[in-house]
Structure 1
Amino acid sequence: MKAETILALWKRPMGHGPSLPKFLLGAYMLLAIVAPLIALQNPYDPLQIYGWEASSPPGTVGTGGFMYLLGTDGLGRDIASTILYGLRISLVVSITSTAIGALVGLTAGVSAAYFGKWVDVVIMRVVDLQLSLPTILVALIAIVTLGPGIDRIILALIIVQWATYARIARGVALSEINKPYLDAARLLRLPISRIIFRHLLPNSIAPAITLIPIELGHAVALEATLSFLGLGVPIDKPSLGSAVANGFQYLLTGQYWISLFPGLALFGLIASINFVGEDIRRRLDPRSRSI
């Protein structure tokens, strides 16, 4: 296939047939779902690992006649199986943290706009403080404070992401505060929770929706970075970031495949999410359709 054809498939807009990023992202999600069914082994089950087959190059036929298509790492774990199981953790952590982070941020931003006064001041000063710091620094502080564990890295990523949603939601909600439908809701003495969640929030989330796919890609990259540094997903759980880190020490000995293939899988996942997210943003944002 010519390079021009590949580029055309990659850039094909949503709504005009399948594009390469959508196909790739769909393939990643499918592989993550069926990983236990197609993987040669559970790479984090000691009973399924053969230590004498450690650092086997791609294409090696191991015990039982199975071929290690992408080779094995320094502990004898099948690289392909590690990638499949790592996809599950990376996607679950990222999707969960992005969804909860968006909900928390949108609620905080709308509440700041609705209540105003000291509530607005407190929430927005926290938002300003967090957004003034590098994202990786906030994540490192959060994960060091919370400690290791999948649930804790999800919480750390929520802490990283909520502030961006809060600022966007507050800006939109401020323009909705004095509209007739909210005046009518207040005159009817509806509960504040109902006014916020049933009326104000649904009318303030449209700009934030376009941000969610982009933030999902950022969450995948940040989780991988923390896991690479040994501060993310525990070493007894699969992750693309920790899989790359496991082979880093072997690069100088020529065992490139231990880090290369998980790194390529991670790059493809982040790239496909970002391109699909950009397509979604362009469809939902009228100002970008003509660009």
Structure 2
Amino acid sequence: MKTETLRASWKRPATYRVTLPKVVLAIYLLLAILASVIAPQNPYDPLQIFAWEASSLPGTVSGGGYLYLLGTDGLGRDILSTVFYGLRISLFVAVTSTVLAALIGMSLGVIAAYLGRWADALIMRVVDLQLSLPTMLVALIAIVTLGPGVDRIILALVIVQWAAYARVTRGVAMSEANKAYLDAARLLRLPPLRIIFRHLLPNSIAPAITLIPIELGHAVALEATLSFLGLGVPIDKPSLGSAVANGFQYLMTGQYWISLFPGLALFGLIASINFVGEDVRRRFDPRSL
């Protein structure tokens, strides 16, 4: 009786819970989406920036009566507005690159498993080569080769991320490739592409789904690192990484707030994504039951 009850509890789907990381991540998403509406100023519009109010302390009231809640940077830009706009760029780059990498990686994984032979050997040798190299090294080589720009850094992050999805999906697809439903599809002489993407892929992507939130946090961190090094998004398109970099030169003069608040926002974003990702992994990974 106890054994039957335990087995039933394994099959029972986990109830949805509202947790602090989910609430924080939802707030971040809303701030990014509504940045142009709720931000006090556009920090990259010269007409809204007052150079004489540069490096104002947090809580300073401007001559026009405006409150700089988090202070201003060395050019007079409102730090709070910079954080809101930086969230938009950072999340756009991370989400876009993660989705594209997942689609490409999972597709190549099932193609390798289904075709086998030379296709499997070629794809998996490329995967093994990329995963054997440090992630940051691959990202630096890609972004230096492609050049600066939002679209270029998205492509660089896709190059970094796709291999992990391909390896995980290929492993599951190998076990699915010899099952009865695929044998029936072959007997019906369905086109190989239809078998791969209509039948094999949907039954092989569940473990790879658990990688998406983890790789999303990884993409945010990578973009911030590249932008901090001056290799990420252009200076006229703010991200949290470039906002931290803008204040780095002022740390020695005691103007800590220029880097501190964008850095805290970046830390909170990555932490909330990782906590939500762990919850997703527990819900989709059968080994965690």
Common topology (TM > 0.5) = yes
2:28 aligns with: 28
Between the aligned partners of 1:286 and 1:200, the Cα distance in structure 2 is: 19
User: What does 1:150-169 align with in structure 2 at a 5 Å threshold?
Assistant: 150-169=150-169
Q: Distance in 1 between matches of 2:41 and 2:145?
A: 34
Q: CA deviation at 1:63?
A: 4.0
Tell me how far apart the structure 2 counterparts of residues 57 and 44 of structure 1 sit (CA, whole Å).
20
Measure, in 2, the Cα distance between the counterparts of 1:224 and 1:181.
45
Q: SS of the counterpart of 1:277?
A: helix
Is residue 2:232 matched to residue 1:235? no
For the aligned residue pairs, the C-alpha RMSD in angstroms reads: 1.0
Partner residue of 1:127?
127
Aligned to 2:52: 52
1:195 and 1:17 map into 2 onto residues whose CA distance is 37
- Residue of structure 1 in register with 2:5 after alignment: none
Quote the Cα distance in structure 2 between the aligned partners of 1:17 and 1:151: 36
Note the 1:56-135 alignment, pairs <5 A: 56-135=56-135
1:193 and 1:31 map into 2 onto residues whose CA distance is 41
Q: Match for residue 277 of structure 2? A: 277
Structure 1 stretch displaced more, 57-66 or 97-106: 57-66
Question: What's the CA shift for 1:16?
Answer: 6.1
Cα distance in 2 for partners of 1:189, 1:143 equals 44
Corresponding residue SS for 1:175: helix
Q: What is the CA distance between 1:38 and its match in structure 2?
A: 1.0
| 3-state DSSP of counterpart to 2:231 | coil
Q: Which moved more, 1:208-217 or 1:184-193?
A: 184-193
In the alignment, the residues of structure 2 paired with residue 44 and residue 63 of structure 1 have an alpha-carbon distance, to the nearest angstrom, of 20
Structure 2 residue 202 is matched with structure 1 residue 199: no
- Percent identity over the alignment is 80
Write out per-residue CA displacement over residues 25-63 of structure 1, whole angstroms, 9 at most, x where no aligned residue: 011001111111111111011111111111111011124
- The aligned residue for residue 7 of structure 2 is none
CA distance in 2, matches of 1:101, 1:211: 11
- Any gaps of 5 or more consecutive residues in structure 2? 1-13
For 1:21 and 1:29, the matched residues in 2 are separated by: 12
Distance in 2 of aligned mates of 1:249 and 1:61: 24
- 1-side partners of 2:93 and 2:16: how far apart? 31
Please state how far the C-alpha of 1:206 moved relative to its aligned partner. Answer: 0.6
**Counterpart in the other structure of 2:136:** 136
Is 2:250 the counterpart of 1:250? yes
Where 1:203 maps in the other structure, the secondary structure is coil
Aligned-partner Cα distance in 2 for 1:224–1:262: 11
- For residues 63 and 232 of structure 2, the distance between their equivalents in structure 1, rounded to whole angstroms, comes to 32
* Counterpart-to-counterpart distance in 2, 1:44 and 1:111: 45
1:4 paired residue number: none
TM-score (norm 2): 0.94
Hey, what's the Cα distance between the residues in 2 that align with 1:64 and 1:152? 40
Report the count of equivalent residues.
Answer: 276
Match of 1:8 in 2: none
DSSP 3-state at the match of 1:271: helix
In structure 2, C-alpha distance between the alignment counterparts of 1:204 and 1:234, rounded to whole Å: 38
C-alpha separation in 2, matches of 1:259 and 1:98: 27
| Pair 16,187 (structure 1): closer, same or farther in 2 beyond 3 Å | closer
Rounded Cα–Cα distance in structure 2 between residues aligned with 1:239 and 1:69:
19
CA–CA separation in structure 1 for the residues paired with 2:63 and 2:170 = 59
Structure 2 counterpart of 1:9: none
Whole-Å separation in 1 of the counterparts to 2:189 and 2:201: 18
Q: Distance in 2 between matches of 1:173 and 1:258?
A: 49
Unmatched segments (≥5 aa) in structure 1: 1-13
Instruction: Give 1:160's aligned amino acid.
Output: V
Q: Distance in 1 between matches of 2:135 and 2:262?
A: 24
> Does structure 1 residue 219 correspond to structure 2 residue 222?
no
Could you state the TM-score of these two structures normalised by the residue count of structure 1? Answer: 0.93
CA positional deviation for 1:286: 2.5
